[in-house]
Amino acid sequence: MLPASDPALCHALAADLRAAGYTAEALRDAWGPAADDAIARGLRSPASRALGDREDALAVLGRLLVLGMPQAEASVDRALVRTGAAGLTRLGLADVERGEVRPRALVRPQSYADETGSGQWWIASDLDEAALGGPLPEDHVLGVGGASLTLAGLQLSTPAARGLDIGSGCGIQALRARAHVDHVVATDVSARALAFTRFNALLNGVGGIEVRQGSLFAPVAGEQFDRIVSNPPFVITPRADDVPAYEYRDGGMVGDDLVAAFVAGVGAHLAPGGVAQLLGNWETRDGVAGLDRVRRWIESSPVPLDAWVVERERLDPLSYAELWVRDGGTLPGTPGFARLVDAWLDDFGARSVTEVGFGYLLLRRPLEGAPTLARYETLHAALPGDGLGAHLATALEAHDRLGALDDRALAASVLLVAPDVTEARHHLPGAEDPTVIELRQGGGFGRALGVDPGLAALVGACDGDLPVGVLVDAIAELLGVQAGALRADLLPRVRELLFTGFLRFG
């Protein structure tokens, strides 16, 4: 059964959830942070034990809609005074049998925040492994997981007119995009996923989301968008009959071909100046590093693209196989686990894959002319959950501004050190001069950068008062070095500090 798109019932359910104080923070307070973290690992008993025999609305809804545990019909009717157990049934979210309400879906609260504000959604999705008590069905619609939160936090927070969410799943990316994009088209190969997207938009009172069924760019042939976002089914899965193909993670292609196909096709669907952001996996194959293969995909795009690609993690084939076999609900020691792992290893071996990278891509169609941004980097630090989209937007703005400045113009610019930047100096015991000077970034990607005394002095002096060139000349005199040579050394690094957010234009 699919969730029903009944506006009146969705409105009633939202009012009931609001009246019950059904928020992520309230639930975390109710069962504690350790139990809350355990839920993310598929363990629901700590939260259930913490709630005990509580019968208030928050506890009843937490058991039913977060943990996926049956509840007494009378308890649900008291918790949802407008909707009741009967309304949940009509919405396709539950069944009622002999006085007991059995959930057919989860509806979990999800907080969000960026520099423009904060809020909360309720996100419906299929029952997870803990609620099902076993492996997931292949048409499973996933709720909000770590990858979803990563991409949601990465979305640019600048305004745009038309957006596209490819592989919408439960609709979390479309909802996030609508905070800054006037109209969003959400597509998926799964009719079930689109039903959840439509339902979640109604439940949260978010208009301007249009759903279309189809693969990749087929539902939007001939159309262009200012913003494209995708958490596609990028998981590398063996193409074998006895290996489950989960719609939410498996795009039906060999290896990392799905991400390559997205890169090849996205340029034609970006309006000039439009930006696409997606998550992906890529293989290190036949001795060619994954990031180098991604670079080749982008350089081969029929439409030239600016590119900023970040690799966050690399896994060996065995670790990758175990991760995704577990993700489908088949655990070590259960029937089929070793067989599925071997299928993954055979698949990787056939293509001489030695590592799999995970990360994100930001691709932009230039307003005019050739691409000017080609940045491929590895950043293994954990990303913040929210607010990184603003950092990416600022970095793109700095890149474009720097492209119009030669070194003379940059030297004439007045700069400010970003307020989240700190400096650490490390000395050997008894030594007067530091052996290491490090700049640390509190926001953005949380970068740490080793610098020399000249660059440290320049960053420290960027207070919005004097131009860069004047500061460099003064530092050269203090250090007893030639000013021209110091400029030639520092200005390229100042450009990097402006792009990465350590410095800002005044």
35 pLDDT band, cuts 50/70/90, is: very high
Do 504 and 416 contact (CB within 8 A), yes or no?
yes
pLDDT tens by residue, 315-343: 999 999 999 998 887 889 888 899 999 99
* pLDDT for position 383: 64
Do 97 and 10 contact (CB within 8 A), yes or no?
no
Mean pLDDT score of the chain, rounded to an integer? 94
Task: Tell me which of 207-221, 236-250, 335-349, 468-482 is least confident.
Answer: 236-250
* pLDDT for position 119: 83
- Within 228-387, residue ranges assigned H as helices are 257-266, 290-299, 317-327, 337-350
* pLDDT for position 75: 97
Instruction: Parse the chain into domains and list their residue ranges.
Output: 7-109, 142-401, 402-505
* Residue 430 confidence (pLDDT) above 90: no
* pLDDT for position 386: 62
* pLDDT for position 352: 96
Alpha-carbon Rg of the chain, whole angstroms?
26
Residue (of 255, 267, 257, 268) closest to 307 by Cα position = 267
pLDDT tens by residue, 270-315: 999 999 999 999 999 999 999 999 999 999 999 999 999 999 999 9
Percent of the chain with pLDDT over 70: 98
d(Cα 120, Cα 109) in Å, to the nearest integer? 7
* pLDDT for position 442: 92
Token readout for 407 is 């070194």
**Could you give the 3-state DSSP secondary structure of residue 187?**
strand
Q: What is the mean pLDDT of residues 374-385?
A: 81
- Domain 142-401, architecture per CATH: 3-Layer(aba) Sandwich (3.40)
* Residue 129 confidence (pLDDT) above 80: yes
* pLDDT for position 410: 98
**Which position has the token pair 């792992």?**
341
Q: Which residue has the higher pLDDT, 114 or 392?
A: 392
385 pLDDT band, cuts 50/70/90, is: low
From first CA to last CA, the distance across the chain in angstroms is 57
d(Cα 48, Cα 275) in Å, to the nearest integer? 43
* Residue 60 confidence (pLDDT) above 70: yes
Q: What's the Cα-to-Cα distance from 119 to each of 107, 176, 204, 211, rounded to whole Å?
A: 16, 11, 11, 23
How far is residue 412 CA from its own chain's centroid?
Answer: 38
**Could you give the 3-state DSSP secondary structure of residue 105?**
strand
CA angle at residue 4 from 88 to 101, to 5 degrees? 20
* pLDDT for position 384: 58
Give me the sheet containing 503-505, strands edge to edge: 463-467, 414-417, 503-505
d(Cα 240, Cα 435) in Å, to the nearest integer? 56
* pLDDT for position 421: 96
42 pLDDT band, cuts 50/70/90, is: confident
Its sign, for the CA torsion 477, 479, 480, 484, is negative
Beta strands in 365-435 (DSSP E): 374-378, 414-417, 421-426
Token readout for 59 is 């506890």
- Within 185-285, residue ranges assigned H as helices are 191-203, 257-266
**Could you give the 3-state DSSP secondary structure of residue 478?**
helix
Q: Are strands 306-315 and 374-378 parallel, antiparallel or unpaired?
A: parallel
